[in-house]
Amino acid sequence: MTPEQIFLIAAIFVVALLYSSIGHGGASGYLAIMALWGLHPEALKPTALLLNIVVAGVGSYLYLSARQFSWSIFWPFALTSIPASFLGGFFFLPPELYRPILGLVLFFSAWRLILRKDCADTRSTPPRRLIAMPIGAVLGFASGLIGVGGGIFLSPLMILFGWARVREVSGIASLFILCNSVSGLAGHLSSLQFIPEFAPLLAVSALLGGTVGALCGSRYLPVRTILKAMALVLIMAGGKMFLI
């Protein structure tokens, strides 16, 4: 194993730990790290989705077991996002078209979270299904197209509109990401041949980091800390859109 591979594995662990603490899979972070590391462009999307599945899988289990989840809020988003993510996996959009817009959206979401003064985790008003289902379709298609699980978009949206409690948002986002990552990868099966041979090591690193992060986020971290971590993740993801 080369020093470069060791660095990549360690970086994947850190990203998985940070992202899973707020219910995310970490795909946007993996994409940035692997691109900087010089991984083949064709391998970026399937490898990120694979790691997303590992982290979101363990995260979903831990958040659900901690009862930080709401099925009634989750299913309208997932019902439309899963097929849309599969469809998005078939398409390729030139990065220069979507990255600047996506980066600005992520920065704006982070800014709104930073300005948020009310950190109570008790009040929420679930969205109407006629609102949740179209949003789920849009986020699902975007996640399949870009190679992320969609939680990077869903989480701040739910918090900013008060659709669920903060910890519930993390649990919902985790399962949302798992479903969309599986669907997006299925729509991009031809790219699996480009996954690097050391991907199992990356998956183990992501699993360890994801387990620690999800365990802390679902049970121990204060709500204020979760919101700050989410803002940091959004800033990192937004910055990646302009730097990679």
In angstroms, the CA 127 to CA 71 distance is 13
Q: What is the mean pLDDT of the chain?
A: 85
User: Are the C-beta atoms of residues 203 and 196 closer than 8 Å to each other?
Assistant: no
Residue 193: what pLDDT? 67
In angstroms, the CA 176 to CA 179 distance is 5
Residue 17: what pLDDT? 95
Domain ranges of the chain: 3-243
What secondary structure letter does DSSP report for 66? T
Helix (H, G, I), strand (E, B), or coil: what is residue 26? coil
- What ranges make up the beta strands (E) of the chain? none
User: Are the C-beta atoms of residues 99 and 241 closer than 8 Å to each other?
Assistant: yes
Helix (H, G, I), strand (E, B), or coil: what is residue 85? helix
Average pLDDT across each block of 10 residues of the chain; the chain has 244 residues. List them in order: 85 94 88 81 82 94 93 95 85 71 79 70 82 93 78 88 91 92 77 78 96 93 87 83 69
User: Are the C-beta atoms of residues 200 and 75 closer than 8 Å to each other?
Assistant: no
Write down the pTM of the prediction: 0.86
> 10 Å Cβ neighbour count for 131?
14
pLDDT digits (tens, 9 = 90+) for 57-109: 999 999 999 999 999 999 999 999 989 988 887 776 676 776 777 778 788 87
In angstroms, the CA 174 to CA 22 distance is 8
> 10 Å Cβ neighbour count for 2?
8
Residue 151: what pLDDT? 83
Residue 48: what pLDDT? 86
b/e per residue 153-173 (b: at least 16 CB within 10 A): bbbbbbbeeebbbbbbbbbbb
Cα dist. 45→88, 94, 189, 222 in Å? 12, 14, 11, 33
Encoded tokens for 120: 């109570």
**CB within 8 Å of 107: residues ≥ 6 apart:** 234, 235, 238
Residue 31: what pLDDT? 83
